[in-house]
Structures are given as structure tokens and as C-alpha cells.
Amino acid sequence: MPEAAQSSKVKMISVDTLTEHDWPSVRRIYEEGIATGDATFETSAPNWPEWDAAHLRSPRLVARGEDQVLGWAALSPVSRRQVYAGVAEVSVYVAAEARGQKIGQRLLRALVEASEQSGIWTLQAGIFPENIASLAMHKACGFTSVGKRKRIGRMDGRWRDTILMERRSDIVGLE
């Protein structure tokens, strides 16, 4: 499902399948997100086998520009229970040098489309209220706020809230 678009900073961006070969770049971008303090509760990036085991096999996407990975998106199951087989949690990360170019939005739109092709009917994301860019990106891609999860986790000695956002498919799970 390759996709290409023009950008003022990066001339050509394509979105395609994330593979193990991409892991060093994906991990670096993940670590950049962790370093912001507003992207995830995680404090370090896992190794490839751990990351691979925690994410659905498909879809896993990367945005490439000028022979480098600029961002990635993947899904994690929310539960092992069969009734939730069509519900997944979204992860989208963009390299620091590529932020502000709508690469995250391009990845998330492609992830939504690919998730529906994989039979996913609900996507969810837990986003720190301080992460204004991520909240706006998810809203632009059809996610709505379900509510605030107050004091859901502790990070660096302080309680953090998350905004729970959700996107229900218009084509999967309607029967």
C-alpha cells in the first residue's frame, strides 16, 4: 500500500511496510519520542523481539524520505480475549527532524485504512493532554475523545492523565 506525497522539507515521502530491517531507525525514533516525556509512559525502547511480540503483525508502517525512515506506526492488541480481536491501540512516532510536516497524519491515515483491511473495527489511543500535536493529528484522522483517564499512571514521580481517543470503523463491524 505505498503512498507518496510532496513536502517542502522532504521531497518525496512514501509509506510502506515496517520490517525488522527498519528496526534501528524505528527504535531511534521511538527513543526520541520517549525523550520528550509526553509521548509514552515507556522509559526505554525494547529490543526487536520484545517490540515484535507486542505488536500486531499487520499493519506496521514506516514513512520513508530520501532513503531514511522518518516515522512509524503500528498497532497493539488491547486484549487477548477473542471478543476484542478487532480492537487495537495505535502507536505513531515521527523523527524529531521530520515533525511539523504532517508525516504522522499520513502514517495514521494509512494505518486506519490498513487496519480496516485487516478487520479492525475500533482503534484507540491514550494521549497525554500536553501532547497537543498528537491530539490534533488523531482528531484530523477521525478519532474522538472518549474521556480523560485521571491519574492513570505515575511517571517520574508524578501522576499523569491521558485522553482516551477512539475511532470506530465505518466499514468493519457493521453487521
CA distance 130 to 115: 27
Across all residues in the chain, what is the average pLDDT? 94
Among residues 85, 90, 55, which one has the least CA distance to residue 173? 85
What is the band of 8 on the pLDDT scale with cuts at 50, 70, 90? very low
Do β-strands 68-77 and 122-127 pair in parallel, antiparallel, or remain unpaired? unpaired
Instruction: Tell me: pLDDT of 2 over 70.
Output: no
Report pLDDT for 66.
86
